[in-house]
Chain A
């Protein structure tokens, strides 16, 4: 209910932006900026970088809102993808991922207990994704986690997990194939 109401509010505001409706952008910002800032901050680690990226994200939303197709994507997925990509672009420009400490495959820790953001992601889809992630081998899951949350490249991950680059590519690709198959079941 909450998720649907928010999805509709965000979608309605997004569809008003291409006409130049500044208040609509403000509504989108008000409803989504805390989540997108959290995402950018998780990847970048520095508040000042995340603030710059957040600004770029909403300027992108302002220019590209017409590209959002509510019949094909959820508004939060669309917005989070923009935020992640902007944050990763900035990370790549600085040539170094923030997190490079070795990944111990035994110590997988979720960053934050889910539940705080009932507005944005349905717990059902989160549980489903988790069910499929749990079916991956631990090293595959660790590698995906490092890429998704830390913005690591193949090379970063190979270094963090002390395996050759080719092995890392193979792990990630195999993991993505398994993940897709599992989610489509």
Chain B
């Protein structure tokens, strides 16, 4: 092709890498480039370099919050242990009942009996509140390394989502995950954070943009906090 004459500045393989990264290839050419990436680390590095050059352009693309069922589908498709999320533990009606009953002690006692009966582990409970207004109740199953968070009196905000934070002795908030106003959420704690979850450590909830805090630290108002108590 005559049109290749005046751009010899890029060798053929790098040209292919650029075309692949830009996304203009199709059919057998695109498939060939994808295969080459798998077996030729030098070519893969060229594509990665082009990705690095072009990706800043995506700053022009607005973030869009995907619907929750996408994560649910991913989570269900992952191999390995899935957390048993059945029965009372996940039943919103069950937990709503507790939320309505103002006697937290009774709820905690029930949790002790319930959790104790299924796992024999030592749960930690935190009532997340602000000015006496209880928003969530969190229970950490230390054996399984999960935290179950139940909405008490929290009303959803159309533009912001509640995010749970663990604030250990060093005072630095660690993001645990997004919560829901309409149902209980069970989050698996990463091992390093599970080790930090101890009595007297603080859990807090802040309101964040959809998708969670963009900075890894709370950016919105903290709507409640509470210390973990060993039962």
On A, residues with C-beta under 8 Å from B are: 2, 5-6, 8-9, 13, 16, 20-27, 29-31, 33-35, 37-39, 41-42, 50-51, 54-55, 58-59, 62, 72-74, 76-78, 80-81, 84-85, 88, 92, 110-114, 116-123, 125-126, 128-129, 133, 144, 147-149, 151-155, 157, 166-167, 169-170, 172-174, 176-177, 179-181, 183
Contacts and interface: CB of A to CB of B under 8 A. Distances in A.
Contacts of B47: 81
Given A112-B61, A116-B63, A173-B15, A33 B71 contact: yes
B187 interface: yes
A46 to B, nearest CB: 13
A121 B189 contact: no
B188 A22 contact: yes
Residue picked from B6, B53, B55, B210, most chain A C-beta under 10 Å: B55
B178 to A, nearest CB: 6
B1 A118 contact: no
B70 A51 contact: yes
Contacts of B79: 20
B60 A166 contact: no
Interface size class of B (residues with CB under 8 A): 35 or more
Given A6-B214, A121-B59, A123-B59, 9 more contacts: A16-B190, A23-B187, A33-B71, A39-B61, A113-B60, A147-B22, A153-B24, A154-B24, A169-B3
Nearest to B37: A85
Contacts of A55: 70, 73-74, 77
12 contacts: A20-B80, A22-B80, A24-B190, A26-B71, A34-B64, A35-B63, A80-B55, A88-B23, A121-B59, A148-B23, A172-B24, A173-B19
Interface string B78-100: 11100000000000000000000
Contact of A38 (B9, B62, B67, B217): B62
B59 A126 contact: yes
- 6 A-B pairs with the lowest CB-CB distances in the bound complex, closest first: A34-B211, A34-B63, A119-B214, A170-B3, A121-B59, A125-B56
A117 B63 contact: yes
A130 B69 CA distance: 36
Contacts, number: 211
Contacts of B220: none
B146 to A, nearest CB: 9
A22 B2 CA distance: 53
B81 to A, nearest CB: 8
B62 A112 contact: yes
B74 A77 contact: no
A121 B70 contact: no
A61 to B, nearest CB: 9
Contacts of B34: 85
A75 B51 CA distance: 11
A81 B63 contact: no
Nearest to B44: A67
B51 A23 contact: no
A54 B215 CA distance: 22
Given A26-B75, A55-B70, A59-B74, A147 B24 contact: yes
Contacts of A8: 216
B50 to A, nearest CB: 8
Contact of A5 (B7, B52, B177, B216): B216
Contacts of B26: 92, 153-155
Contacts of B1: 166, 169
A119 B22 CA distance: 23
Contacts of B180: none
A8 B175 CA distance: 13
Given A30-B178, A170-B7, A177-B9, A23 B74 contact: no
